[in-house]
Structure formats: structure tokens, C-alpha cells
Amino acid sequence: GENVEQHPSTLSVQEGDSAVIKCTYSDSASNYFPWYKQELGKRPQLIIDIRSNVGEKKDQRIAVTLNKTAKHFSLHITETQPEDSAVYFCAASPGNFGNEKLTFGTGTRLTIIP
Amino acid sequence: NAGVTQTPKFQVLKTGQSMTLQCAQDMNHEYMSWYRQDPGMGLRLIHYSVGAGITDQGEVPNGYNVSRSTTEDFPLRLLSAAPSQTSVYFCASSSSRTSGSHEQFFGPGTRLTVL
């Protein structure tokens, strides 16, 4: 089955600086890659996603890049703010099943230092 | 819309007891899933369903049963609770691939402790 590795497990960034979180996946059939943000005690919420036919997607301060050849994708947060502090999860899903069979990474705890 | 709802929010069980975690969604989503979240391990898929009457196993199905008799409901049954099942359980739903949206919407979670 799919295996998703996520690094780093913790990340501290000065407010205003950029943060980058990286994930690798093993199943070349995966073609959907979402990123979820989870605040303490809350449910995961989708912040951005990308499909394998796209190399990069941007939404305001958040961007995701995908390298299918190398099987890795990354989350970029620019101009970080205190409210960006949370745990971020990447995930991958094989094309045959669509989006209901997500395999998640182990998460990155991002702390924004004021 | 209430979105995805889960009950109960908290539950304490003794080893060997059984119980059902409830999950419902009012978005007419075809796909529903159950995940467990443990510290340092992310979310792991337990069971999922692609529509009423259709279920399949995920990564960690042992000790759990599911059924999907309606589009709205997807209960998770613990047959004989074990301390290893202490976790936070999330239910999620998503729309059909044909609609173009892949987002999974999560419920608020159930925190389960097995003594």
C-alpha cells in the first residue's frame, strides 16, 4: 500500500518568515495530494490540494508544489502569522479510489514565534 | 447544513465492552471514512464506504466493524474494546469524483479511552 513520509516533525519559524514542509510518497498511482491543518483539539481542515496533472498551486500565502518523478510534494507558507501555528498533515490518494482512501503523513507541528 | 456530526464526544470503556460510534452527514456525500488519530502517527484509515451498502477495509481494520445502510449514516462498531483502541476517532465524508471536488470534510471527533 501507499506510504507517506513527512518532514520535519516540528518546525519553529519567526513571524513573517516562510515555512516549508516536505512529504514523499511511495505509490506511483497516487494522483491526489491534500494538505490539512489541525489546531489543538479541533478537526483537520483542508487548506490546499493538488492533483498530479499540476506542478504547482497557490492560494494567497499558501502554495503546494509536486514533483511526480521524484514522488515528493511540499507545502510553502509565506509571511507566516501567529494563527498559522498548528499541526499540518500531508496525504496521498491513489487514482483508482479517488479521495476516500487517503494515506496521511505523521504531521508537522508548526510554531510561529512572535 | 450541520456537515459531519459524531456522537459521543467522549467515551470511557472497560476492556471487553462493545460500543458504536455514530457518524452522520447531511451533504449527500457518497464517500465516508473512519480514521483513528494517535500521537505521532497521524490519521490512519480504519474503514471506508463508497456508497450505501458498500464498505471496505482501510489500513487498520482489526477490531472494528462498519455498515452503511443509508447515505447519511456510517457507524463504527468496536466489538470487544482493548486498551490499544484508546484514540481519537474521526469520521469524514467527501463528494463523488464526478463532481470534481476531492475535499474530505471531517467530523469533530470522538475521544475514546479504554481502561
Q: B33, A103: Cβ pair inside 8 Å?
A: no
What tens-digit pLDDT sequence spans chain B (115 residues)?
Answer: 789 999 999 999 999 999 999 999 999 888 999 999 998 788 999 999 988 999 999 999 999 999 999 999 999 999 999 999 999 999 999 886 655 667 889 999 999 999 9
What is residue B57's predicted lDDT score, i.e. its pLDDT?
94
What's phi and psi for A80, nearest 5 deg? -60, 150
Q: What distance in Å separates the CA atoms of residue A105 and residue B3, rounded to the nearest whole number? A: 25
Chain A residues with CB-CB distance to B43 below 8 A:
44, 89, 102, 104
Rg (CA), chain A: 13
A55-71 mean pLDDT: 95
Is the confidence at residue A56, as pLDDT, over 90?
Answer: yes
What is residue A96's predicted lDDT score, i.e. its pLDDT?
54
Nearest CA in chain A to B6: A43
Q: Do residues B60 and B47 make contact, with C-beta atoms less than 8 angstroms apart?
A: no
Is the confidence at residue A95, as pLDDT, over 80?
Answer: no
Is the confidence at residue A97, as pLDDT, over 60?
Answer: no
CB of A94 within 8 Å of a chain B CB? The answer is no
Q: Do residues A52 and A34 make contact, with C-beta atoms less than 8 angstroms apart?
A: no
Q: B104, A34: Cβ pair inside 8 Å?
A: yes
What is residue B40's predicted lDDT score, i.e. its pLDDT?
79
Average confidence score pLDDT of chain A: 93
Nearest-neighbour CA in chain B from A104: distance (Å)? 6
Q: A89, B59: Cβ pair inside 8 Å?
A: no
A11-17 mean pLDDT: 98
Q: What distance in Å separates the CA atoms of residue B18 and residue B20, rounded to the nearest whole number? A: 7
Q: What is the dihedral of CA B60, B52, B19, B62, to 10 degrees?
A: -20
